Structure formats: C-alpha cells, structure tokens
Amino acid sequence: MNKKFGGIQKLCNFAPKTQTHDLMRYLLLALSILSTLAVARTRNATMSHSNAFVSADSAEIAENRQQGDMLLLYQRNTGGWPKNIDMEKPLDDDEREQVLADKTKEDDSTIDNNATTWQMQLLAKVYQKTGDQRYKDGFNRGLNFLLEGQYPSGGWPQVWPKGKGYQKSITYNDDAMVNVLVLLRGVSMSIGLFGGDLVDDEMRSRCDSAYQKGIECVLETQIIVNGKPTIWSQQYDNETLLPTFARSYELPAFCPRESARIVQVLMEMNNPDDRVKAAVHGAVEWMESHKIEGYRYIKASKDRTRHAELVPDPEAEPIWARYYDLQTEKPFVCDRDGIPHANLEDIGQERRDGYLWYDMRPKRLLKQYNNWKAKYEPDVK
C-alpha cells in the first residue's frame, strides 16, 4: 500500500466490520466526487483553449474569404487580372458596379507588375485554408488564361488577348514571364500551396508541358556572342526571337537585372542538361565581367530634392547597369526620346529619378551560383 493511504488502511483494520464497510463506501464516494470535479476542471480548461483557437481560426478564415472574394470580383472573364490596383480596398456600391462592368475587358489582363500570378497564389492560399470551390475554380480559370496566352515559341506577352504595341512582345521585363514559369513549375510538381486537389492530373500535365516549352524559349532567346551564351534582353519579338523595344527608354540591350532572375529559374531545374548548364555558366561569366566597381548608386529622394547619381566609393559593393549596349557592351541610360547616354546627368530629371538604372540583384545570384555549381558542376572552376 502506498504510504499516502497507510492511515486509511489502519483505520479499516481496527474498525468493526459494518463500520469498515460504511467507511469504505464514504471514502469511495468522496474519491469519485473529487475525480469528477478534476475531470470537469480539465474539460472546462480544454474547452476554453479550444474555443480560443476556433475563434482565431474563424477570424482568419473570414479574412481569407474576404480577400478571396475581392480577387474573384476583379478577375476578368479572360481568367486574368489587371495590374496596379489595390484589390483589398473596400468598395462602395458605385465602385463595385464599375468593377463588375470591367470584367468583360480583354485589353488589360496582364502578367506585368506581378499581376495574375500574384492573385493566383493568393487564391491557392485561400482555397487551401477554406476548401471553398469558388477559389479553386478561380485559380483554374487563371491557369487556363496563362496556358492560352503562351505563344508557339514558348514565350508570353505582357497583355492578352488584346494587347497593343510592345505589350505583345515576349516579356522578361520586371520578371513577367519568369513569374509564370515559377507558378507553372509549382503547379506541375504540386509544390506548397499548389498541392492537394487544387488542380487535376490533366491540368498538372498541361502546366508541365507549358513550363518545358517556356524553358526552351528562354534558351532560344539567350544572346550569343562569338559562339558563347551571355544574358538576355528585356523583351523579344515573338516571330524573330530577337531583342526588341519596349517603352521609348527601354531599348534592346543586355539586361543583367532580368537575366539574374532567369538564371535562378534555370538553376532551380532538377537534373539540368548540358544546354541548361552552359546557359547558366555563360550568363554568370558575363555578369562577372561586366560588374561596376568603385561606385555607389544613390536613388533620388522621395521629394526629388536629391537626384539619382553614381558616387565614387572605393568601398562600395559591385553594381550592374540596367542596360548594356548590344554592340559595345557598355552601360547606358536613356530618356523618353530614345537616345542612349553614358551618364545619368545627361538625361532629364523625370527619367533620371523615376527609373531603376543600377542595382545589385546579380550579386545575390552569384552566391547561389556557387552552391548550384558545387552540386551539378563540381569540376568547373
């Protein structure tokens, strides 16, 4: 007998038999009451915590539904979305009516400025949180929009089905086509939010085929100089696959910023073949040889009292120009007149201060490249 109950045992031993039975009955009743009270306290505490979680989950789900409903509201009948709109902003009745009327537009569904791919990621998240079929259907409409917009060459324009001018060109600018490739790869491989029953097997297969076709376009549009692969331009003619103009100050050129993201996509491929490896090595080698050292890029202040400039700084980290001439491979900047210049001071303040002319994105790529090379090309120096 446990020492804790020793006194009870002694009392039972020395008490008369009838008293012993009564005493035992009372003791068992007391223990039962205490046990019931303990269970009740535990259950109440558990229910209290459970209710707190349910309340938090319900609030989160309600927020997710509100977000998802706004995304569906703005989704065009094409399956895509317009850009540069705050889709979380509450709408009054007149604004909501206008958004509904705009759903039939066919000239503003775009992948520029993260449009469409961003909304699709959010819809996937909301569906995984809620299981609401409407968000799944909206995501699949977006997928069909992306698949229908792919050119036979494998590239994507900025805007379709009714784009104008440079909007019809294959677009790497601002990572437009790259965002599509990343999303399609995620869907085809059921990565993260794109897993589960979000799409069926047939759609995953279609996404994989479109992704592979897109990668082929990427390799075909890499600029070759003296037989060596280098980097990419921002936009390409869909028919000739040659670099082409976008806006008046966005000339055909070597473009390290967009190219760095393209190379990252190539490095994410499983078991890359020799052609992909050569593309990665060539691009990185070009970026290494065209980095700008000894200067720091200072952006314009928000009030434009200080203009963008390059400042000599021997301690500055390497930077890259947004554009390098296709013939000389030297950096340039450009105004809206389409005339390239060597120095920021040679263009007007509006474009000088209102565009990102230099940045450090390739520097991050170079670190990732070393890890990739150690995995797939350990013998390459």
Which sequence positions are flagged as catalytic? 113, 247
What's the gap between Cα 118 and its chain centre? 7
One-letter amino acid at 196 equals G
In DSSP terms, 159 is beta-bridged to 110
3-state secondary structure (DSSP) of residue 341: strand
Q: To which residue do tokens 């990668």 refer?
A: 215
Report the alpha-carbon distance of residue 247 to residue 122 in Å, rounded. 30
Kindly give the pairing relationship between strand 320-321 and strand 333-334.
unpaired
Helix (H, G, I), strand (E, B) or coil at 27: helix
Nearest CA to 232 out of 120, 336, 117, 365 is that of 365
C-beta atoms surrounding 177 within 10 Å: 29
Token pair recorded at residue 260? 């760095």
With CA atoms as reference, report the closest residue to 278 among 290, 267, 287: 267
Q: In a 10 Å sphere around its CB, with 0-12 CB exposed, 13-18 middle and 19+ buried, how is residue 323 labelled?
A: buried
List of E strands, 186-335: 224-225, 228-229, 235-236, 295-298, 309-312, 320-321, 333-334
* Tokens, residue 80: 């895509």
Backbone angles phi, psi at 64, to 5 degrees: -60, -45
190-198 contact pairs (CB < 8 A, 24+) = 193/121, 193/124, 193/125, 193/128, 194/124, 196/128, 197/136, 198/124, 198/127, 198/128, 198/136, 198/139
Nearest to 160 by CA among 206, 116, 199: 116
